[in-house]
Amino acid sequence: MIGLHVFLHIHLLFTRASFGLHLLNLVLYIVTQGINGVPPMPDGYNPATWMLEITTPAIEERISADFADIFRNSNQYRDVEASVKQMSTPPLGSEPIRFDTAFSQDSISQFQLCLKKQLLVYWRSPQYNAVRFFISSLCGLIIGSMFWDIGSKRDSSIHIVTIMGALFSSCIFLGSSNASSVQPVVSIERTVFYREKAAGMYAPFPYAAAQALVEIPYLAAQTLICIIITYFMIGFERSLRKFVLYIVFMFLTLTYFTFYGMMAIGVTPNPHMAAIVTSAFYSLWNLQSGFLLPKRLIPKWWIWFNYIDPVAWTLQGLITSQLGDVESMIIEDKFRGTVKEFLKVYYDFGPGMIGISAAVLIGFCLLFCVAFMASIRYFNFQKR
């Protein structure tokens, strides 16, 4: 009841102040109360700004007056009080205001509006997008120059492992960079979301879906930048199929890393805590990916983690798509056979796993995206 009383006071005061170009009644009220020391409003000045400037405690102290007491003893105050008393009692036969839905727009319209807003926010955030495009280019040049033309050398196990190292390095470096750089952006937007959600502008799910979807075109551009540089500098086979598969697996890798970073922000109260959580899983993913320690050497009590490690599926998809069908011979003391057989014997990578690897990575993308949406819906870390 107190809240309604205050609301009606404010509403009626400003309604009676003729909100518009000049707020005529409000200006005349302050000027005509006989308050000495109140500076006049300059011509063309914003009346709302002028009102806030001349009703400060500093002005009150200077003129030795209290604007609240002046208003309390005025006819305007008595008119407002009478109006509040009249409007506090509902007319006979009236019913409480009731709405069929919590929001003015349906979910699809909310999603479209949120997506339009996010597209504008991202377009106006060059410090985020331009930097990650620069990092992708720099990473591509560094990896391409370090592993120059190694992709065409397939006559020894050392060369094969080096190619695997190039693929492993590119996906880990770019992926972890994306997961870390997206967190401050999502954290700032989440603060805005709390305010707009409290105002009843939109529901959590449309907002979270738009926040995730707006990343897709930028991830696609980032993938192309890195792939075009590394694919030809490393010297992979000039095959349209393998080039497209390389793009697909790198795009999925950057996507699930980015969604993972967003999810980490969603389930933690601040970016500092999110950075700690993501860093811990980076180490586990790298260790269990099957590159540093081949799958056949992982202890049986840890092998289960290899199957839920997204980096392991990325590595398997990238390597099998580029080398899984190569019949070049490797003739060494410890191994004699084709590149295809070497990958199968030492790493358990077979060409038939390309489709499965892609499907699993899509599943990880959806999992992290849904987890981010759920965290936005059910977790609230606002301290107010």
Domain coverage including residue 277: 108-378
Residue 211's pLDDT is 92
Does some domain include residue 100? no
Does some domain include residue 95? no
Domain end residue (candidates: 23, 58, 87): 87
Residues 69 and 182 in one domain: no
Element (H, E) at 201: none
Model confidence over 6-17: pLDDT tens digits? 444 444 444 444
Residues 42 and 157 in one domain: no
Does some domain include residue 103? no
Residues 79 and 115 in one domain: no
Residues 289 and 211 in one domain: yes
Residue 65's pLDDT is 78
Residue 199's pLDDT is 79
Does some domain include residue 92? no
Residues 198 and 345 in one domain: yes
Average pLDDT for 284-305: 86
> CA 189 to CA 187: how far, in whole Å?
5
Does some domain include residue 93? no
> CA 329 to CA 335: how far, in whole Å?
10
Residues 299 and 368 in one domain: yes
Model confidence over 135-153: pLDDT tens digits? 889 988 998 888 888 888 8
Residues 302 and 172 in one domain: yes
Q: At residue 309, does pLDDT exceed 60?
A: yes
Residues 227 and 285 in one domain: yes
Cα-based distances in Å from 301 to 17, 147, 306, 349: 75, 35, 11, 21
Residues 60 and 163 in one domain: no
Cα-based distances in Å from 234 to 153, 314, 320: 10, 18, 16
> CA 204 to CA 198: how far, in whole Å?
11
pLDDT band at residue 3 using 50, 70 and 90 as cut-offs: very low
> CA 351 to CA 343: how far, in whole Å?
10
Residues 151 and 271 in one domain: yes
High-pLDDT (> 90) share of the chain, %: 23
Domain end residue (candidates: 87, 117, 143): 87
Domain end residue (candidates: 36, 57, 87): 87
Q: At residue 251, does pLDDT exceed 90?
A: yes
Number of domains in the chain: 2
> CA 29 to CA 27: how far, in whole Å?
5
Residues 140 and 71 in one domain: no
